[in-house]
Amino acid sequence: MNAIGRAIALTKGDLVGPEHLEKQVLEVAVGAGDATVEPTPRPGSSPLGPRAQPLVPPTSASPRAARKAQLELLLTEYQGNVSEVPRVLGKTRPLIYKWLQQVGLDPERFRT
């Protein structure tokens, strides 16, 4: 799994910040070992891109709802391409299909 995918998977909110990234990633990004990086999203926009939605809706209280929201986000981002989801999350494809079935999501719905 790449560093960004890992950070997205570990984020509990809707913003990936420097605290979610490994130290080595920050050192490369900043160019110095102990430099500080602050996220700077534009007001009214998502730091994850124009099509992105929060990873976990603020009203979501259950792990199932959180998993569904995360899968919806990734399927939207990758246009229903299920093979990309396990790469980002560092999971197996059969597990992703199991999760999709558990939360009632059909990847066809996300294909364009």
Half-sphere exposure of 90 (CA within 13 A, CB side): 10
| Domain boundaries, position 26 | 3-110
Count of domains observed in the chain: 1
- What pLDDT score does 106 carry? 95
- Which phi and psi angles does 38 have, rounded to 5°? -115, 130
* Cβ within 8 Å of residue 100, ≥6 positions away: 71, 82, 106, 107
One-letter amino acid identity for 50? P
Report the chain's mean pLDDT, rounded to a whole number: 73
- What pLDDT score does 25 carry? 60
Q: What is the pLDDT of residues 53-102, one digit of tens each?
A: 445 445 546 888 889 989 999 999 999 999 999 998 899 999 999 999 99
Q: Is the pTM of this model over 0.85?
A: no
Q: Would you put residue 31 in left (φ > 0), alpha (ψ -120 to 50) or beta?
A: left
